């Protein structure tokens, strides 16, 4: 990544193309770090659930009867059958295996197992669903598959104070777009984390927020990024640069004319606008393919207004996203070439990328 004179270089091509490295990423990064799997509002009521797929693993994320968010491996303790197949839905108070009707409570306890009372030594208390660590942070559902997960990092705790004005836990998604991009997930994070390309790829974005007007303010740990400043003629990052929506929470002062962009390792991209919050969650499908979930979050009171229409922000970012996905796919084709060798990052323009690469390599090598 660096030379003797400390010039930062891009990652080797194998990190974007190797099936073996992709497998290691699932084991050591997506299987051992806190990852964002959705929003708390998606399981607001007891019994509401969503399914999470991580490589070969399937998890049920559900709200129990006491209001606690929980995660369980989607396998019956009887013979390992995958119990749930719908991506999201509502349990009627229990989770039942479709094969032999073993039935579990929303807290994971085995409630019923047909005829197993006749088996010597069998105790229902010994066979609950297998849990995974889950917690709620800033309205996000954070999952960790490690057997003994570390607490939330200091980087995320540090971010709490910065996020406070946006009142993120109260926000709900008014629009969701899913993309499938023919590029490695790391290329998408790297693209998000620099605006060196913006004057060339995003003329509409450059007009609203010039690429050299801003600063990086988080440069250590698992949260990296900073802010860009809106041009004097712009009120928000929308298709026309204007907005009729009030600021979120207690957003005020300089934050009214800034957009904060943070890459939260490994799979959450968090964009804080004065009048909405945009998120991207990344789901690696293969070394060269990534599913991206893009959501737009607003205050519930704003959503209920008769004049509410998120399309001005959605249209702007859908256009910008597609421009980004195109160049990410071109990058994937390039780094897959035998002729590719790591190139130099553009100093301060791409300092976040070099720092993110360091975090990534450290996580990958931390067996």
What does pLDDT average to over the chain?
Answer: 95
Cβ proximity of 181 and 191 under 8 Å: no
Cβ-based neighbour number of residue 192 at 10 Å = 22
Is residue 104 situated within a structural domain? yes
> Phi and psi dihedrals of 265, rounded to 5?
-65, 135
List the domain range (segments joined by +) for residue 103. 35-144
Q: Which of 82, 111, 144 is the last residue of a domain?
A: 144
Let me know whether 78 and 164 are in one domain: no
CATH number where 65 lies: 2.102.10.10
Q: For the chain, how many structural domains are there in total? A: 2
Is residue 171 situated within a structural domain? yes
Length of the chain: 367
Q: What percent of the chain has pLDDT over 70?
A: 98
- Confidence bin at 367 (pLDDT 50/70/90): low
Let me know whether 177 and 88 are in one domain: no
Cβ proximity of 51 and 37 under 8 Å: no
Let me know whether 286 and 188 are in one domain: yes
187-201: pLDDT as tens digits: 999 999 999 999 999
What is the rounded CA–CA span in Å between residue 274 and residue 247? 5
61-81: pLDDT as tens digits: 999 999 999 999 999 999 999
Q: DSSP for 61-121?
A: EEE-TTS-EEEEES--TTT------SSEEE-SSEEE-TTT--EEETTS-EEE-TTGGGSTT
- Structure confidence at residue 167 (pLDDT): 97
3-state SS of 99-112 is CCCCEEECCCCEEE
- Structure confidence at residue 153 (pLDDT): 76
Q: Which of 96, 111, 144 is the last residue of a domain?
A: 144
304-359: pLDDT as tens digits: 999 999 999 999 999 999 999 999 999 999 999 999 999 999 988 999 999 999 99
- Structure confidence at residue 78 (pLDDT): 97
CATH number where 250 lies: 3.90.380.10
Is residue 161 situated within a structural domain? yes
Let me know whether 117 and 219 are in one domain: no
On the question of pLDDT at 134 being above 70, the answer is yes
What is the rounded CA–CA span in Å between residue 333 and residue 359? 24
Let me know whether 159 and 96 are in one domain: no
Instruction: Report the pLDDT averaged over residues 89-104.
Output: 97
What is the rounded CA–CA span in Å between residue 341 and residue 11? 9
Let me know whether 81 and 113 are in one domain: yes
On the question of pLDDT at 151 being above 90, the answer is no
- Structure confidence at residue 220 (pLDDT): 82
What is the rounded CA–CA span in Å between residue 19 and residue 244? 47
What is the rounded CA–CA span in Å between residue 217 and residue 21? 31
Residue 113: cis peptide before it, omega within 30 degrees of 0: no
Let me know whether 180 and 321 are in one domain: yes
- Structure confidence at residue 5 (pLDDT): 55
Let me know whether 172 and 234 are in one domain: yes
- Confidence bin at 2 (pLDDT 50/70/90): very low
Instruction: Report the pLDDT averaged over residues 267-274.
Output: 98
Is residue 70 situated within a structural domain? yes
What is the rounded CA–CA span in Å between residue 1 and residue 354? 8
Cβ proximity of 359 and 264 under 8 Å: no
- Structure confidence at residue 3 (pLDDT): 41
Q: DSSP for 139-189?
A: TEEEEE--SSPPPPPHHHHHHHHHHGGG-GGG-EEEEEEEEEESS-HHHHH
Let me know whether 117 and 191 are in one domain: no
98-131: pLDDT as tens digits: 999 999 999 999 999 999 999 999 999 999 999 9
Angle made by CA atoms 249, 282, 141, in degrees to the nearest 5: 50
Let me know whether 90 and 161 are in one domain: no
* Cα 135 to chain centroid, rounded: 14
Task: Give the global pTM.
Answer: 0.95
Let me know whether 164 and 306 are in one domain: yes
């Amino acid at each position: 990544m660096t030379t003797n004179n400390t010039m930062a270089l891009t990652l080797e091509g194998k990190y974007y193309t190797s099936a073996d490295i992709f497998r290691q990423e699932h084991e050591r990064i997506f299987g051992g770090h806190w990852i964002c799997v959705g929003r708390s509002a998606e399981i607001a009521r007891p019994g509401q659930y969503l399914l999470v797929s991580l490589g070969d693993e399937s998890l049920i994320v559900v709200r129990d009867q006491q209001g606690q968010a929980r995660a369980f491996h989607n396998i019956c303790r009887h013979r390992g059958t995958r119990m749930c197949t719908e991506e999201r839905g509502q349990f009627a108070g229990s989770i039942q295996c479709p094969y032999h009707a073993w039935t579990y409570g929303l807290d994971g306890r085995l409630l019923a197992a047909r005829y197993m009372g006749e088996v010597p030594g069998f105790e229902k208390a010994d066979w609950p669903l297998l849990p995974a660590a889950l917690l709620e942070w800033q309205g996000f559902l954070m999952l960790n598959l490690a057997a003994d997960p570390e607490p939330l990092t200091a980087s995320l705790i540090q971010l709490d104070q910065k996020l406070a004005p946006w009142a993120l836990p109260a926000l709900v998604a008014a629009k969701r777009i899913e993309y499938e991009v023919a590029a490695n997930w790391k290329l998408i994070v790297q693209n998000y984390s620099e605006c060196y390309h913006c004057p060339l790829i995003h003329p509409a974005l450059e007009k609203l927020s010039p690429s050299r007007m801003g600063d990086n303010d988080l440069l250590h740990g698992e949260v990296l990024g900073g802010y860009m400043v809106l041009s004097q003629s712009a009120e928000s990052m929308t298709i026309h640069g204007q907005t009729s929506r009030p600021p979120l929470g207690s957003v005020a002062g300089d934050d009214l004319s800034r957009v904060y962009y943070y890459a939260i390792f490994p799979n959450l991209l968090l964009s804080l606008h004065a009048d909405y919050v945009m998120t991207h969650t990344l789901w690696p499908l293969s070394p060269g393919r990534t599913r991206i979930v893009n959501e737009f979050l607003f205050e519930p009171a704003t959503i209920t207004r008769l004049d509410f229409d998120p399309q001005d922000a959605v249209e702007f970012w859908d256009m910008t996203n597609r421009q980004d996905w195109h160049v990410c796919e071109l990058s994937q084709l390039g780094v897959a070439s035998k002729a590719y060798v790591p190139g130099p990052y553009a100093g301060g323009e791409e300092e976040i990328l070099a720092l993110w690469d360091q975090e990534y390599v450290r996580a990958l090598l931390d067996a």
